[in-house]
Amino acid sequence: MADIETTTSLRRGRPGYDQRGILEIAVAAFNESGYDATSIGMLADRLGLSKSAIYHHVSSKEELLALALDEALDGLEGVLREPAATEGPAADRLAHVLRGAVDVLTARLPYVTLLLRVRGNTDIERAALARRRTFDRAVADLVVEARNEGSLRADVDPAIVTRLLFGMINSIVEWYRPDGPETPAQLADDILTIALDGLRVAP
Amino acid sequence: MADIETTTSLRRGRPGYDQRGILEIAVAAFNESGYDATSIGMLADRLGLSKSAIYHHVSSKEELLALALDEALDGLEGVLREPAATEGPAADRLAHVLRGAVDVLTARLPYVTLLLRVRGNTDIERAALARRRTFDRAVADLVVEARNEGSLRADVDPAIVTRLLFGMINSIVEWYRPDGPETPAQLADDILTIALDGLRVAP
């Protein structure tokens, strides 16, 4: 927060929040009270700012939602573009993407929490759901590829595997605490052990 | 529904719903609209009954919630009391309990869906959460026992294993459809393959 305040002070000549700082508080409020129940006025109270001060940084509550969902989705989509996600045996690429998804969930926890609660009530939410489905489908394709190359057991339905993998990974938002004993890397190791070792065909 | 109507007609001398039938409709409404947003008046509309006809069968909306949560919790707790959950190696008992939990989730889907959404806002909800925690702890104890007997890998934290197992199993309420291609038994097989085979120590 110190850095943010310094930057903002320098840029705007007064202490306060930049767009990123407002976004963080907004996402926390959306997760606690629900997006619909949160107004710009409530955010202004929470931030100790006037509503017009908020509108210096964002055009609307919808823009805050779109920025927040982008933060989660850009992270997940970024994992798919990493070299380790695009080159090599499918089983290794799958492991890399699952590990990367865990990293994004833990590093951007409030943003992914919000993404996972989106139900598609507005155009912004529907666009986010479409991007999430595309990500899920890319992982499902990797499961199929890994199965076809003989790395994963053939007797488990790839569609169910994919859903259960996401069930496990997405549950992180329910219980993971950044100040808890597990590091994100340990968590990723445990998930890969549980999720993939049981599916792997012994070499 | 035909059976329910017949039973009720015989018992009360008019067509309609018995407590079970009202409960089913109530749980569907709670899951769709939220418990707080659902009134007895709305249930009456949905059932085509007067409010007083509903009050023949249940004393309050709270009683419907308590009955619904009991349905889910009685099922889960029943699994823990089965002989296969209390006798034999811990790894086998764990497998039996996970399979039983999947069976309860698929057989009592709307009731478990409601249970998993409870946040502890009322005494009834807090009592249900306490029972759910006791169930979760019994499974966590089984994971520890299976690890101590040398059946499960020692390098994965049992607390995280338990959370990830529930993450996977509980995700079923998000996507399982009783009329879908997977039978509950297949689903349980797949979950045990993913969840436990990766953790098992090779004999």
- pLDDT, chain B, mean: 88
Closest chain B C-alpha to A195 CA, distance in angstroms: 6
Domain match, A22 and A97 both: no
Q: What is the C-alpha end-to-end distance of chain A, expressed in Å?
A: 50
CATH of the domain at B48: 1.10.10.60
CATH number at residue A83: 1.10.357.10
For residue A194, the chain B residues in CB contact (below 8 A) are 156, 161, 164-165, 194-195, 198-199
Residues B50 and B103 in one domain: no
The Cα–Cα gap between A96 and A110 comes to 22
Residue A198: its pLDDT value, please? 67
Residues A110 and A152 in one domain: yes
Cα A85 to Cα A92: distance, rounded to the nearest angstrom:
8
A33 lies in some domain: yes
> Domain range spanning residue B100?
65-197
Give CA–CA dist B17/A154, Å, rounded: 47
For residues A153 and A72, membership in a common domain is answered with yes
- From CA B129, how far away is CA B120, in angstroms rounded? 7
Pick the residue from chain B with its C-alpha nearest to A193: B198
Residue A116 lies in a domain: yes
Residue A36 in contact with partner chain B when CB distance is under 8 A: no
- Residue B161, min C-alpha distance to chain A (Å): 7
My answer on whether A47 and A82 are in the same domain is no
Domain for residue A183, yes or no?
yes
- What per-residue confidence (pLDDT) applies to B6? 45
Q: Tally Cβ neighbours within 10 Å of residue A1.
A: 8
Last residue of a domain, one of A58, A87, A105: A58
Long-range contacts of B28-34, Cβ-Cβ distance < 8 Å, separation of 24 or more:
B28/B110, B30/B64, B30/B65, B30/B68, B30/B114, B31/B110, B31/B113, B31/B114, B31/B117
Q: B126-152 burial, b if ≥16 CB within 10 A, otherwise e?
A: ebbeebbeebeeebbebbbbbbeeebb
CB A138 within 8 A of CB A113: no
My answer on whether B188 and B110 are in the same domain is yes
CA of B137 vs chain A CAs: smallest distance (Å): 15
CA distance A18 to A22: 6
Dihedral sign from CA coordinates of B84, B86, B90, B95: positive
Q: How far apart are the first and last CA of chain B?
A: 50
Q: Is the same domain home to A103 and A175? A: yes
Report d(CA B28, CA A201) in Å as an integer: 42
Last residue within a domain, chosen from B40, B58, B76: B58
CB of A140 closer than 8 Å to CB of A158: yes
Domain-located, residue A203: no
Give the pLDDT of chain B (203 residues) as one tens digit per residue.
Answer: 444 444 444 444 345 789 999 999 999 999 999 999 999 999 999 999 999 999 999 999 999 999 999 999 999 999 999 999 999 999 999 999 999 999 999 999 999 999 999 988 899 999 999 999 999 999 999 999 999 998 888 888 888 889 999 999 999 999 999 898 888 888 888 888 887 776 666 65
Please list the rounded mean pLDDT of every run of 10 residues in chain A (203 residues).
44 66 96 93 94 94 97 98 96 94 96 94 95 96 93 85 92 90 87 76 60
A48 in the same domain as A10: yes
User: What pLDDT score does A76 carry?
Assistant: 98
- Number of domains comprising chain A: 2
**Residue A75 falls within a domain, yes or no?**
yes
Is ipTM strictly over 0.90?
Answer: no
Is A47 in the same domain as A86?
A: no
* Calpha distance A172→A176 (Å, rounded): 5
Collapsing DSSP states into helix, strand and coil, what is residue A120? coil
Amino acid (one-letter) located at B99: R
Contact check, Cβ <8 Å, A195/B196: no
Is the domain of A138 the same as that of A71? yes
Query: Which among B127, B114, B97, B55 is positioned nearest to B195, based on CA atoms?
Result: B97
- Inter-chain touch B195–A197, beta carbons under 8 Å: no
Q: Are residues B135 and B156 in the same domain?
A: yes
A positions 136-165 inside 8 Å of B (CB): 153, 155-157, 160-161, 163-165
Q: Is residue B172 part of a domain?
A: yes
Across the interface, which of B168, B196, B200 has its CB nearest the CB of A167?
Answer: B168
Whether B203 is covered by a domain: the verdict is no
Range B24-54 burial, b when 16+ CB lie within 10 A, else e = bbbbbbbbeeebeebebeebbeebebeeebb
Q: Are residues A132 and A42 in the same domain?
A: no
Looking at residue B5, what is its pLDDT?
A: 44
In contact, B162 and B85? CB cutoff 8 Å = no
Residue B196 is given by DSSP the state I
Instruction: Give A200: exposed, middle or buried? Use CB within 10 Å, 0-12, 13-18, 19+.
Output: middle
The last residue of a domain, from among B18, B37, B58:
B58
- How far is the C-alpha of A61 from the C-alpha of A36, rounded, in Å? 10
Q: What is the pLDDT of residue B203?
A: 54
Q: pLDDT tens-digit profile of B33-54?
A: 999 999 999 999 999 999 999 9
| B202 domain-assigned | no
